[in-house]
Amino acid sequence: MSITDITHWISGTPDPGEGERRQEVYNPATGEVSGSLHLGDERDLQKTLEAARAAADSWSEASLSRRMAVLFKFRELVHSHTQELAAIITAEHGKVLSDAAGEVGRGLEVVEFACALPQTLKGEYTEQISSGIDVFSFRQPLGVVAGITPFNFPAMVPLWMAPLAIATGNAFVLKPSERDPSASLLLAELWKEAGLPDGVFQVLHGDKEIVNGLLTHELVDAISFVGSTPIARHVYETGTRHGKRVQALGGAKNHAVVMPDADLDLAADHLSAAAFGSAGERCMAVSVAVAVGDAAEQLVAKVGERARSITVGEGTQDGVEMGPLITPASQDRVRRLVTEAEQDGAAVVVDGRDLVVTGHEEGFFVGPTVLDRVTEAMSAYEEEIFGPVLAVVRVDTLEDAISLINANPYGNGTAIFTGSGHSARTFQSRVTVGMIGVNVPVPVPAAQHSFGGWKDSLFGDHHIYGPDGVRFYTRGKVVTQRWPAQNDESGASLNFPSNG
Ligand code: NAD
């Protein structure tokens, strides 16, 4: 198998950079090395940021209609390259092709929202707030924005950030995950083909050396980060200490509550899709089912049945529903947490630990796994498993379910399956979680709204994309103006200005 040389994208062109370090990129379905990634160093960082700074200065002056022409063209190009992007994602991430195309589709929604920026960005104007005085407010770009993204959505998460950062007039530097970096380069090519000036969208690969460089560099004005909680916390603390605006989205432990009055077949269908889709490597995956009262017995049986029927294999093959995990380390983590849960008294209802996919013996696979009678004290409950494992916790009442969720340090997404509007309303009002589904297991907001968790799932004041995205990538200005007549003699006084 040939090994692709994966370069940075600096000033509108592929660039191997000066950094001498490399990292191998794998096809997780086969375990083979597919790429050799250039990791940037401080010289590459400096070069990229200087290009971004220069590009930001002129791009911020481009009219909204010129920026929108690029955005509309980019939308068409991403749309027409969906299958190509999906193939790149599947080859490096492992998720099935239809799921990869789905993430491109969700990213496109943000591009479409950004295409409406002239409407969204309209300012406010108050005429004659005082005699002869008008006040108006508007928002301007920040300058250079860096986006640091995780492996699990190599196209969608960059598309949560870049379209709005660019539409609002900033230059954007993407530091993609080093595990599946290639989708970012096709996105870079499409931005260029759409007419975006060189330097407005750049890709700089690297590991913590580049991340820490971005967090502290004087040419960076803001950071959007998505990844695990410990790194999100580090990014937020370091970036803000260096005077940058930061939004840092972290990890998750998403609970879905199943009430006894729920349609249990519908709940089991949705729970297994939400737990095992993309091998559980979604920040909005349901990893804990909270079975209330006598919902538990039937729910566990139904989810177990569905888990056993899932076809696991290489994501490019027809009929495959679930692919491998991203690395052997992920495989080890998931197996370890299942084993520890079993040792601590959980029942392993469906066991994916020893799954071998014929013809892909070296792939990083773990099969769908269902754990029952999981408790809060178990490591499988405390840690983010980030694999195809659904842990069932049994509780007596809705109150108990809400207490469990609210005691959890994460607060990304949650859901309730119920036939009762009152239970749903109580739940949505009381849970300390940012995104809530009612009979919807994965409540990722549409692009007209913003995405964000609470507690350890998000550090910062702004959620990502949607209206909060526009606010994050811009800052406000308010103008108070008077245009007196030439012979105006109303004069000025030393008193504090008052309206009249
Ligand atoms: P990660 O935190 O390991 O990596 C994210 C980014 O941080 C990568 O670009 C990586 O290069 C960089 N990074 C890693 N270690 C670093 C360090 N020590 N110092 C500085 N930078 C570092 O996350 P991941 O494994 O790529 O992605 C999975 C995680 O992301 C999960 O925890 C998942 O829940 C989370 N996630 C959250 C959301 C959300 O919206 N809240 C969305 C997707 C993924």
Give strand pairing partners of 371: 348, 391
Q: Tokens standing for 57?
A: 């200065």
* Strand runs labelled E in 184-259: 201-203, 222-226, 245-249, 254-258
Q: Which residue has the tokens 């749309």?
A: 79
DSSP, res 220: -
The response to whether residue 434 sits with its C-beta less than 6 Å from ligand 1 reads no
* Strand runs labelled E in 39-151: 124-130, 133-141, 144-148
The response to whether residue 299 sits with its C-beta less than 6 Å from ligand 1 reads no
Q: Summarize the chain as % helix, strand, coil (round to 5).
A: 40, 25, 40
Among 23, 152, 333, say which to mutate for ligand 1: greatest number of ligand atoms within 8 Å of CB.
152
pLDDT of residue 27: 98
The response to whether residue 283 sits with its C-beta less than 6 Å from ligand 1 reads yes
The phi and psi torsions of 351 (rounded to 5 degrees) equal -120, 110
Task: Please determine, looking at this structure, whether the domain spanning 4-250+457-478 carries the CATH number 3.40.605.10.
Answer: yes
Q: What number does the ligand 1 atom closest to the CA of 453 have?
A: 41
pLDDT of residue 123: 94
User: Would you list the domain boundaries of the chain?
Assistant: 4-250+457-478, 254-438
Q: What number does the ligand 1 atom closest to the CA of 249 have?
A: 41
How, if at all, do strands 458-459 and 201-203 pair?
A: unpaired
Please, is 158 exposed, middle or buried when counting C-beta atoms within 10 Å of its C-beta (0-12, 13-18, 19+)?
buried
Give strand pairing partners of 133: 130, 482
pLDDT of residue 499: 76
Residue 181 CA to ligand 1 center (angstroms) comes to 13
Residue 347 CA to ligand 1 center (angstroms) comes to 31
Ligand 1 atom 15: the closest Cα is on which residue?
208
Spatial distance between the Cα atoms of 178 and 25, rounded to a whole number of angstroms: 8
The response to whether residue 465 sits with its C-beta less than 6 Å from ligand 1 reads no
* Strand runs labelled E in 83-231: 124-130, 133-141, 144-148, 171-175, 201-203, 222-226
Question: What is the chain's pLDDT, residue by residue, as a tens digit (500 residues)?
Answer: 789 999 999 999 999 999 999 999 999 999 999 999 999 999 999 999 999 999 999 999 999 999 999 999 999 999 999 999 999 999 999 999 999 999 999 999 999 999 999 999 999 999 999 999 999 999 999 999 999 999 999 999 999 999 999 999 999 999 999 999 999 999 999 999 999 999 999 999 999 999 999 999 999 999 999 999 999 999 999 999 999 999 999 999 999 999 999 999 999 999 999 999 999 999 999 999 999 999 999 999 999 999 999 999 999 999 999 999 999 999 999 999 999 999 999 999 999 999 999 999 999 999 999 999 999 999 999 999 999 999 999 999 999 999 999 999 999 999 999 999 999 999 999 999 999 999 999 999 999 999 999 999 999 999 999 999 999 999 999 999 999 998 877 677 888 877 77
Q: In what order do the strands lie in the sheet with 32-38?
A: 4-6, 32-38, 22-27
The response to whether residue 149 sits with its C-beta less than 6 Å from ligand 1 reads yes
For 340-398, the DSSP string reads HHHHTT-EEEE--TT---TT-TTS-----EEEES--TTSHHHHS---SSEEEEEEESSH
Q: How many helices (H) does the chain have, and how many strands (E)?
A: 16, 23
pLDDT of residue 492: 79
Spatial distance between the Cα atoms of 249 and 242, rounded to a whole number of angstroms: 19
Dihedral over alpha carbons 69, 71, 72, 76 (to 10 degrees) = 130
Q: Is the CB of residue 39 less than 8 Å from the CB of residue 226? A: no
pLDDT of residue 488: 78
283 as an active site residue: the answer is: yes
Among 226, 229, 253, 435, say which to mutate for ligand 1: greatest number of ligand atoms within 8 Å of CB.
226
pLDDT of residue 374: 98
Q: Which one from 268, 283, 357, 435 is the annotated catalytic residue? A: 283
Name the CATH topology of 254-438.
Aldehyde Dehydrogenase; Chain A, domain 2 (3.40.309)
Q: Which residues contact 27 (CB under 8 A, 6 or more apart)?
A: 34, 91, 92, 94
449-454, Cβ contacts within 8 angstroms, sequence gap of 24 or more: 451/160, 451/249, 452/247, 452/249, 453/249, 453/250, 453/252, 453/410, 453/411, 453/412, 453/413, 454/411, 454/412
Measured from the Cβ of residue 309, the count of other Cβ atoms closer than 10 Å reads 10
Ligand 1 atom 18: the closest Cα is on which residue?
208
